[in-house]
Structure 1
Amino acid sequence: MQSYQEFLDLSVGFPQEGFEIIDDELYFHDLNLMEMIETYGTPLRFTYLPIISKKIQQAKLLFKRAIVNNNYRGSYKYCYCTKSSHFRHVVEEALKNNIHLETSSAFDMPVIDNLEKKGIVNKDITVICNGFKTYQYKQYIIDMLHDGFSNIIPVLDNKEEFNLYDDELDIACNLGIRIAAEEQPDSQFYTSRLGIRMEDVIDFYNSKIASNPNFKVKLLHFFINSGISDTPYYWNELEKYVTLYCKFKKINPELDTLDIGGGMPFKDSLVFDFDYEYMVNEIVKRIKEICSEHDVVEPDIITEFGKYTVAEASGILYKVLGRKQQNDRERWLMLDGSFITNLPDVWALNQKYILLPVNNWDAEYERVNLGGITCDGQDYYNQEAHMNSVFMPKTRKVQYLGFFHTGAYQEVLSGYGGIHHCLLPSPKHVIIRRNRDETFNFEVFGEEQNSKQVLKILGYSS
């Protein structure tokens, strides 16, 4: 019978970029995963920071090429969507690449203030402030504008949001307006809950903002909920919003920026097939064509890539604690962690990630189900993105496996450092950097939670 390695190669083609097998063991971007397991144990969450910079530089280069190829007269600005991962090591790695930030809630603002006080950013950084804003969020924005953060751009999510800025700001402020996008055909709603109705945007500007000398609407923002995809829905929505930009520009010459949001996909399976170069070029090309049709100069383009920026930098490693044959057909591998608490998108959204064994690649393969260690019936993983099943090496030896490209949202959604289902602890988290001599630098960012920490949160100890 074929080995697991032969089976995977025939199924999807392997090795692939970022993954290779050396002496029957899996390496991730030259990282020896078995050595990491032997050093730090499992379950183990890890973040390999150089991937973040690599992804940012890839996108910046693609937009640069597209702008040149299409003789596009606008510029491109990369903003990192902080809600994908707020951790300091992630944000600081991203900021090494001369980028800007997009925020979604009040506590984002003290993060930026902290980064400025430590010299990581300057007060001229562009900050796109999105979201339906609480009073606290708006007050942070106002305070930071008064403190000299001149390129903070509050993006109006509703008409009433403008009132507080109008009352409390006596300095110049650039504004954005978010368009309430139409949802996908299979959505439960017709229109996004976020943003101002498309047909109200220009009237709102004329009645509330146009005559106010302190405010300029510089940016029009939309987010298409399908993400960036080569589909009729995406292109139709893009055309609608660029057309609105052109109409708005003619009555508001100060408007010069189109924020097309995020939604750039990341590699979430071994059969991932997305032509980044084509899509970026096509976006730039179509924006230019629509503007030409309306005799309007092309806008500067902003993107807010989150998952794309950070997802592929992280993974989580597990040990198989036991094997259970529950009937003639169903074999379970029980892991020393939980999908519900470690990878909540698996449980909540049926998200798939790249799943690979760490060792025993020369062994035969078998069909299995993966079981999390909680007592919840939904704590399992039994399908991959490219097939309706999961296969792992068939062996009696100690088995380790990993889920890869898990770096977006999972730590925050799982309540990092807090209370988890069945009181499972947060796993140890290791940050990995690469030195100039190509060696690796490992830092334990967080130890595995212990029972004293959990009991204290629950109120059992002072």
Structure 2
Amino acid sequence: MYESKPMKNKYRDLIEQTFDFPQAEFQLADNQLHFHHIDLNALVKKYGTPFKFSYLPVIGEKIDLCRQWFQNAFEEHNYKGKYHYSYCTKSSHFDFVLKECLKKQVNIETSSAFDIDIIIYLFNQGLLNDDIYVLCNGYKTKEYILKIAELIDLGFHRIIPIIDSFDEFEILDEMIDTPLEIGIRIASEEDPKFEFYTSRLGIGYKDIVPFFKKRLKGHPKFKVSMLHFFVNTGIRDNAYYWNELRKFINVYTDLIKADAPICHLDIGGGFPIKNSLAFEFDYQYMITEIVAQIKQEAESVGAEHPNIFTEFGSFTVAESGGTIYSVVNQKKQNDKEQWNMIDSSFMTTLPDTWAINKRFVMLPINRWGDKYERVFLGGMTCDSDDYYNSEQHINAIYLPEFKMNDPLYIGFFNTGAYQESISGYGGIKHCLIPSPKHIIIDKDENGAFTDYVYREEQTSQDMLQVLGYR
């Protein structure tokens, strides 16, 4: 007799049939989601929603992984240069992020004068040494250059200001009197989908060698030791990236032929981060191929293998962060559209979802054993753009069915980079929707999880004070 099989219409069934699940950072226990074996539902019950969290051990793990990939590539190709991991502070300026990075003895890449104040503070606290590399990117205002000079006076001897324009070099030459290594940033050509052809950052490919010969060769103070390269789309295995990398290496070899003392190549940042359960990226292959190309061209002009720098920001910190919401109600607008309303705002807590249509890994925290339905997600502001409707599979969002008396919690993961700074952490938000509380999760010396509130949810009094009402 034919026996009917139970229907696989639960949310858990959907995920397990669609993706390879569970995954390294995501596990299930009693139909509830765990992140790196952290019981997220327990955190919801302890702290309420909404809240952001940062799980600190991930930061060090990402740094270790990247260093191992470069070590593997160096060994495979018998590469004689050194690899230097730098953290790009603009991805997240929080003290707990910098302190985790410094435990791994990383170098620092800065973007503004205020970044230098962070370095000075950490130095005065004994948390970093004056022998780390400080790579100074960004537009160099006079204030920024004065801060660079302050670092020099403090004894930092591995500061490398990276020249972004001809005028910037002239101001640096005027304001800095001590010997200094400097770098040159190449203005890469943008991806064809961009509205402009050449990046506004850096100096054009064809202008760099003439600039070196005219202003930098034999300079009494400055030694050009670094060539810097970054493409806005990041490091990707596509024709555009490899073509721009080839141009970068060609400029390097041309500079070597012109007797430039280049010993460092900075290939920038831009390693992709996981944005769906289906994410795949061969980091080891990309690094190995980049190292191979640099080695080949260095040897073609008789140069020693240059040291390789990276400036990974999002890669370092993004996957340590997450944001948890409650679904507070469901609004049916027509026969097909069901809106699950969250207890916060996407525009104010995850601004990249609104600004650049960025996707994050989105999963329910509880009720994985319930039937699922297709929904849209809406935020609490009165703005029609405050929504999230493109999840990682088939351009639709599926969640356990809404039940008024059975709360549903959802998490957005790998949100640890840029979201706080872009949304204006601690400041005024659209429709005065408050910044959620921020939870820090770590491990103690015995490997047990610890958690505490780093910052409470923003209050109305906080906002009124900023607005001048107090």
Give me the TM-score of the superposition, normalised by structure 2: 0.96
Q: How does 1:153-302 map to 2 (within 5 A)?
A: 153-302=160-309
For residue 434 of structure 1, report the CA deviation from its aligned partner: 0.7
For residue 204 of structure 1, report the CA deviation from its aligned partner: 1.3
Contact in 2 for aligned 1:239/1:290 (Cα 8 Å): no
For residue 230 of structure 1, report the CA deviation from its aligned partner: 0.7
- C-alpha distance after superposition, 1:364-391 (max 9, x if no partner): 1110011101111011111113321100
RMSD, aligned α-carbons: 1.1
Is 1:382 aligned to residue 408 of structure 2?
no
- C-alpha distance after superposition, 1:406-459 (max 9, x if no partner): 001001111100000000111000111111212112121100011111111111
Contact in 1 for aligned 2:344/2:380 (Cα 8 Å): yes
- Look up the match of 2:27: 20
- C-alpha distance after superposition, 1:244-278 (max 9, x if no partner): 10110232352100000001011111111101111
Aligned counterparts of 2:45 and 2:136: Cα–Cα separation in 1: 43
Which among 453, 456, 459 is matched to residue 444 of structure 1?
Answer: 453
- C-alpha distance after superposition, 1:5-28 (max 9, x if no partner): 011110112111101110111100
Aligned-partner residue type, residue 174 of structure 1:
E
For residue 146 of structure 1, report the CA deviation from its aligned partner: 2.6
Aligned counterparts of 1:134 and 1:253: Cα–Cα separation in 2: 26
Is 1:334 aligned to residue 373 of structure 2?
no
**Count of paired positions:** 461
Contact in 1 for aligned 2:145/2:175 (Cα 8 Å): no
Is 1:111 aligned to residue 122 of structure 2?
no
Is 1:125 aligned to residue 132 of structure 2?
yes
Aligned counterparts of 1:316 and 1:364: Cα–Cα separation in 2: 24
Aligned counterparts of 1:390 and 1:413: Cα–Cα separation in 2: 25
- C-alpha distance after superposition, 1:94-130 (max 9, x if no partner): 1111210101111000100000000010111100000
Aligned-partner residue type, residue 156 of structure 1:
I
Contact in 2 for aligned 1:142/1:165 (Cα 8 Å): no
Aligned counterparts of 1:169 and 1:134: Cα–Cα separation in 2: 13
Which among 419, 422, 438 is matched to residue 410 of structure 1?
Answer: 419
SS in 2 for 1:252: coil
Q: In percent, how many aligned pairs have the same letter?
A: 48
- Look up the match of 2:440: 431
SS in 1 for 2:166: coil
- C-alpha distance after superposition, 1:136-157 (max 9, x if no partner): 1111112221331111110000
SS in 2 for 1:160: helix
- C-alpha distance after superposition, 1:43-70 (max 9, x if no partner): 0100000000000100000001101101
SS in 1 for 2:325: strand
- Look up the match of 1:66: 73
Residues 386/379 of structure 1: CA separation in 2 closer, same or farther (3 Å cut): same
Aligned counterparts of 1:386 and 1:256: Cα–Cα separation in 2: 45
Aligned counterparts of 1:166 and 1:306: Cα–Cα separation in 2: 29
Which among 360, 363, 369 is matched to residue 370 of structure 2?
Answer: 363
For residue 181 of structure 1, report the CA deviation from its aligned partner: 0.7
Where in structure 2 are there 5+ consecutive unaligned residues?
1-6
Aligned-partner residue type, residue 139 of structure 2:
F
Where in structure 1 are there 5+ consecutive unaligned residues?
none
Is 1:99 aligned to residue 103 of structure 2?
no
Aligned counterparts of 2:261 and 2:31: Cα–Cα separation in 1: 60
Aligned counterparts of 1:150 and 1:183: Cα–Cα separation in 2: 34
Is 1:33 aligned to residue 40 of structure 2?
yes
Is 1:45 aligned to residue 67 of structure 2?
no
- C-alpha distance after superposition, 1:229-253 (max 9, x if no partner): 1111111111111111011023235
For residue 291 of structure 1, report the CA deviation from its aligned partner: 2.3
- Look up the match of 1:347: 354
Aligned counterparts of 1:334 and 1:425: Cα–Cα separation in 2: 16
Aligned counterparts of 1:61 and 1:347: Cα–Cα separation in 2: 35
- C-alpha distance after superposition, 1:271-293 (max 9, x if no partner): 11101111111111111122233
For residue 395 of structure 1, report the CA deviation from its aligned partner: 4.3
Aligned-partner residue type, residue 241 of structure 1:
F
- C-alpha distance after superposition, 1:132-177 (max 9, x if no partner): 1111111111222133111111000011112233223332100000
Aligned counterparts of 1:433 and 1:327: Cα–Cα separation in 2: 45
SS in 2 for 1:432: strand
SS in 1 for 2:203: coil
SS in 2 for 1:408: coil
Give me the TM-score of the superposition, normalised by structure 1: 0.98
Aligned counterparts of 2:62 and 2:307: Cα–Cα separation in 1: 21
Aligned counterparts of 1:169 and 1:412: Cα–Cα separation in 2: 31
- Look up the match of 1:458: 467
Aligned-partner residue type, residue 102 of structure 1:
E
For residue 341 of structure 1, report the CA deviation from its aligned partner: 0.2
Contact in 2 for aligned 1:259/1:303 (Cα 8 Å): yes
Contact in 2 for aligned 1:434/1:440 (Cα 8 Å): yes
Aligned counterparts of 1:392 and 1:386: Cα–Cα separation in 2: 12
Aligned-partner residue type, residue 166 of structure 1:
D
Aligned counterparts of 1:65 and 1:205: Cα–Cα separation in 2: 34
Aligned counterparts of 1:382 and 1:61: Cα–Cα separation in 2: 37
- C-alpha distance after superposition, 1:205-243 (max 9, x if no partner): 222222322110000001022211111111111111111
Aligned counterparts of 2:389 and 2:233: Cα–Cα separation in 1: 25
Contact in 2 for aligned 1:432/1:440 (Cα 8 Å): yes
Aligned counterparts of 2:23 and 2:376: Cα–Cα separation in 1: 24
Aligned-partner residue type, residue 106 of structure 1:
A
